[in-house]
Structure formats: structure tokens, C-alpha cells
Amino acid sequence: MRAEPASRGRGGFEALDACVHCGFCLQACPTFLATGDEADGPRGRIALMRALEQGELAPDDPALITHLDRCLGCRGCEPVCPSGVGYGRGLEAARATLARIAGVAAAARAALWVLTTPGVSRVAYAAARALRATGLPGALAGWGTFRFALGMLAATKPEGPRRPKTADDGPGGVASAVPGRLGPSSAVLLFRGCVMNGLFSHVHDATIRTLAVNGYAVRDVAGQGCCGALHAHAGLLDDAQALARANVAAFGEGPDDTAPIAVNSAGCGAMLKDYGHLLGDPGGERLATRVRDVTELLSARGPVAGAPLTATVAYDPPCHLLHAQGIADAPLQVLGAVPGLRFVSTPDASLCCGSAGLYTLAQPTLSRAVLRPKLDSLRAAGATVVASGNPGCLMQLGAGLRAAGIPAAVRHPVELLDGSYRKAGWYETNRGRAKAV
């Protein structure tokens, strides 16, 4: 049976009704700052979306399509809006309308198919990892579209050699036998996703280890898949719902069906937390309430401090963590558990980096225009590590830093905590038990 729509009634357009055209959101909009065009800002786009809903603009209107396509969907306009406009909800409704009537570009559909279809994506990610291992993507990275894509791939490379699997590692590499230090462990389930699992499995490993040190027993869940965020952002709500239902079935059944779901990708976390809206049923609502960003889980336990590391760190919050989930402090608490780090702040940290899922590939010129000021700030701050908790941000920032010749690495916050714990001796095992120092 065909899935119910994500929203009934006006399909989400009603979230835009509160807009009073004050313009307070303009300076928080990266695309408006890049182009200076009112139609590339939230206020102008809201006018376009209202016209679409009311039939004043046709779905194939070139200006409508251009300016909505240029929106990053970063939701940076939401927290600064005094009227509480639900811009993201309205954008989702508008894009779903366009996708239903005018269709979605074949290239976008093909990219989604390759990146998120099990079997197909497994081959694609294996090929990408093999290319990454040659070192060529890093050597050839630069500003052109193809060279920037190589830089994005190079940015997924783990720091140093991978930790070898041990007998303590359970199926899927989950270190289920490593106990936490803080009393009895509580169970959490790991959301693996598609891009994270294909290119950032080292972040999953770091997530499992750091959670274990902080008293969580991480378990794998069979049958899970892509969260559907990329599909929802493209307006393909039926596809997103199908993926969501598969995840609800995977995480919603079995002995751990009340356990928190640990997510280390901000984009996936925001989508999973929105399953109640996407599916409009109790199963989606129930799953959404269990979703936690990994930094939320870690900060709830402190987290335990590790050994000192030396780096100058700029934290760049992912839009889907800061704006969509409202999580600001937890990543800083995770980074704060690593002694020795020197932190620098940049004035435009809360602005989008220009990644935005497929946006960096579909809108390369504007994506780079959004990114460049941020790179200038990072260069001026002297950061040697840029920390961010989302795969797209890590790839975009990593490629940009490399193209701009800035000698800084990109790391997920849990990777830094993991390195700190490793140095502190947390992972030295003795008959399968973690050794405290």
C-alpha cells in the first residue's frame, strides 16, 4: 500500500504562514550573503513557495525552480526568526510538490540510487575506498568540480592505521565485550546509515569505543538502512517513507526496542528525529523519541576525560545538529574531555559550509561561494583541526581546506575523544576487558 503523505492538510506549507516579512533572517542565510539577491534569501523564497501553493506560480516556473534549488536547506534562518516560521517544513512541502509535478533530475535520482541502495552502494563505496587508499584523491584534489570531489573523498580517510579487529569485537565490529567504567552498561543501538557506513566506518568504531568507556554497551541492528534524508530533501517523500518504515521495523522490534539509538551523523539524526512527522504514525513517533546524537549520549556521562592531545581546534557545528536538532553544547563537552586542545572560534561557524547533501555536486559554484568565507576564517584562526559531526560537512570542509592549501585536518569530535582515550590506555585489553588507567 502506498505510504501516507508526510503531512496532511496543506502538506507543510502552513509552517510558512507566520512570516511577517521582517527580514531578520537575511543575514543568517548563506546564499543571500553570497549573492545579495532577495530571492536567494528566506523571505524571498517564502514568497515564492506561497505563490506555488496558491497557484500563482507554476511548478515549472524557471525562477521558482532556480531559487528553491539554490536553497541549502540548512535552516539557519529558523533560530533567528522571531515569528517561529518553520522554514524547513515549508521547503520540504514545496520540494515535494515540485518533485510530484515536475519530477526530480535524473542525475539526482541516479546519485541517490548509487549512494543509498544496498548492494549497489556496497560496490560503489568499496570502489571509493580502494581509490582513497591509493592516495591519488588527496594528491589531485583542488577547486575544479572533479578535483573537489576527489578532495571530498580524501577527507574521508581515517587518521593513522585502522585498529585491527580483535576477538572482543562482536558481529559488525561492535566491541560488545569492552565494558564501561561507570558501573553497569546501558544498551544503545548504533545507527550506521549509508555514507557513514561506506566511508566513515572508522567514526562508527570510535563511537562504539568512546560510548563503551562511558558506560554504554553498543549493539548492532540488522535490517537498518539509509535514513531517507537525501530523498526527503530532494522532495522524494515516498522513497524517504519507505526507508523510514524499514528502519522503524529494524529498530522497533526485539528486546532493545526502547533503547536509545546512537547517531553520529547530524543529517541522519535530524531525519530520524522527524520520523513522526514523515510517517505520521506511532511507530515513527516512538523511534524519533529514542534518537540521540552520540555527543548527547557522551555528554550525559561527562564524558570521562582522556589523555592530552595537541591541536588547535575549530568546532564547526553541522546545520542539522545546531539548527535542526538544537544541539550546541554537547559536542563542546565531548571536545572538552580532551585535555590539551586549544580552541579557536570563527565568526561564521554557525553558517552552513555549503555541503547540504547533493548540493555540493548540483550547485558547485554557489556551494564554493558559501564555503570560501568560512575557509578564510579558519585560516585566520590558525586551526590545525576542524571538528564537525556530519559526513557531508567533513567532506566539504576537508576538500575546501585542501584546495585552499590550509594545513588543517577534519575530524568528527568522537575521533578526537577516541584518540585521547587510546593515548590514556583505555583500549589496552587484558583477556577481553578494558583497562582503566
* Rounded least distance, CB 51 to ligand SF4, Å: 15
Residue from 11, 76, 306, 398 touching ligand SF4 (CB under 6 A): that is 76
Q: Where are the alpha helices (DSSP H) in 135-236?
A: 136-140, 145-154, 195-199, 201-213, 229-233
Near ligand SF4 by CB under 6 A, which window of 20-28, 139-147, 148-156, 184-192? 20-28
Q: How far is CA 310 from CA 343, 407, 420, in A?
A: 11, 15, 10
Residue among 44 and 303 whose Cβ is closer to ligand SF4: 44
Residue among 346 and 355 whose Cβ is closer to ligand SF4: 355
Residue from 6, 15, 19, 213 touching ligand SF4 (CB under 6 A): that is 19
Residue from 77, 199, 213, 279 touching ligand SF4 (CB under 6 A): that is 77
Q: Please check whether residue 168 is in contact with residue 174, taking contact to mean a CB–CB distance below 8 angstroms.
A: no
How many residues of this chain bind ligand SF4 (CB under 6 A)?
A: 27
Near ligand SF4 by CB under 6 A, which window of 73-81, 219-227, 237-245, 287-295? 73-81
DSSP 8-state symbol, 162 = P
Buried b (16+ CB within 10 A) or exposed e, 189-211: bbbbbbbbbbbbbbbbbbbbbbb
Residue from 48, 85, 155, 244 touching ligand SF4 (CB under 6 A): that is 85
- Whose grid coordinates read 569530535? 413
352-411 binders of ligand SF4 (CB under 6 A): 352
Instruction: Give the span between the Cα atoms of 13 and 275, in whole angstroms.
Output: 18
Instruction: Give the span between the Cα atoms of 239 and 253, in whole angstroms.
Output: 22
Query: How many CB atoms sit inside 10 A of residue 43's CB?
Result: 21
Return phi, psi of residue 357, to 5°.
Answer: 65, -120
Asked if 45 touches ligand SF4 (CB under 6 A), the answer is yes
Residue among 25 and 153 whose Cβ is closer to ligand SF4: 25
Residue among 47 and 397 whose Cβ is closer to ligand SF4: 47
SS3 376: helix
For the record, the C-alpha cell of 381 comes out as: 584562526
Asked if 20 touches ligand SF4 (CB under 6 A), the answer is yes
* Rounded least distance, CB 66 to ligand SF4, Å: 13
For the record, the C-alpha cell of 71 comes out as: 536553497
Residue among 170 and 364 whose Cβ is closer to ligand SF4: 364
* Rounded least distance, CB 29 to ligand SF4, Å: 3
For residue 42, which of 98, 85, 11, 99 has the smallest C-alpha distance?
Answer: 85
Near ligand SF4 by CB under 6 A, which window of 66-74, 106-114, 131-139, 260-268? 66-74
For residue 393, which of 195, 105, 129, 227 has the smallest C-alpha distance?
Answer: 195
Residue among 74 and 385 whose Cβ is closer to ligand SF4: 74
Residue among 166 and 365 whose Cβ is closer to ligand SF4: 365
* Rounded least distance, CB 17 to ligand SF4, Å: 10
324-353 binders of ligand SF4 (CB under 6 A): 352
Within a 13 Å sphere around the CA of 342, how many CA atoms are in the beta-carbon half?
7
Asked if 74 touches ligand SF4 (CB under 6 A), the answer is yes
For residue 130, count CB atoms less than 10 angstroms from its CB and return exposed for 0-12, middle for 13-18, buried for 19 or more. exposed
105-164 binders of ligand SF4 (CB under 6 A): none
Residue from 10, 17, 23, 107 touching ligand SF4 (CB under 6 A): that is 23
SS3 433: strand
End-to-end CA distance of the chain: 56
> In the complex, which residues of this chain contact ligand SF4 (CB under 6 A)?
19-25, 28-31, 42-43, 45-46, 71-77, 81, 83, 85, 87, 352
